[in-house]
Every structure is written in C-alpha cells, then in structure tokens.
Amino acid sequence: MRKAIKVLAISGSLRQKSSNTALMNAIIALEPEYMEFTIFGGLGDLPHFNPDMLWTGSYLRVNL
C-alpha cells in the first residue's frame, strides 16, 4: 500500500458561494485513494496581511 500524501486545502475566499472554494471542493472530490485532503476553515480568523504595516511598526501579535 502506498503512503498517503497529505494536502492542506485552503480557499483564498471567505464568500459562501466562492468559485475558489467550489473549484477546491471539485478537485478534492476527484482525489486518488493515496491522497488525503484536510480543508482549513479558519481563514477568517487569521489577521489580514497589510504590507504598509511593515513600515509603521504596527504589528498585531497572534498566538495560534
């Protein structure tokens, strides 16, 4: 038996009817037996990236 390839799937959109999420789910539905997908659903809980904050020193510390 082949060792499972584990993939963390992340949709870059938070919209309920996102085409990115629909495509991700369609790909997962076609997964071969030797692949194991885990869908990351916590994108909305992560802080937003803003490159302007790099220059102001304003960082939000997040403990995950």
Query: Where are the domains positioned within the chain?
Result: 5-56
Terminal Cα-to-Cα distance of the chain (whole angstroms): 35
Please list, in sequence order, all residues whose beta carbon lies within 8 angstroms of the beta carbon of residue 35, skipping any fewer than 6 positions away.
Answer: 4, 5, 6, 7
Question: What letters, b where the CB count within 10 A reaches 16 and e where it falls short, cover 11-39?
Answer: beeeeeeeeebeebeeeeeeeeeeeeeee
Per-residue pLDDT in tens (0 to 9) along the chain, 64 residues: 778 999 999 998 889 899 999 999 999 999 988 999 999 999 888 877 666 665 555 556 666 6
Q: What is the pLDDT of residue 53?
A: 60
Q: What is the pLDDT of residue 5?
A: 94
- The Cα–Cα gap between 38 and 24 comes to 11
The structure's pTM equals 0.66
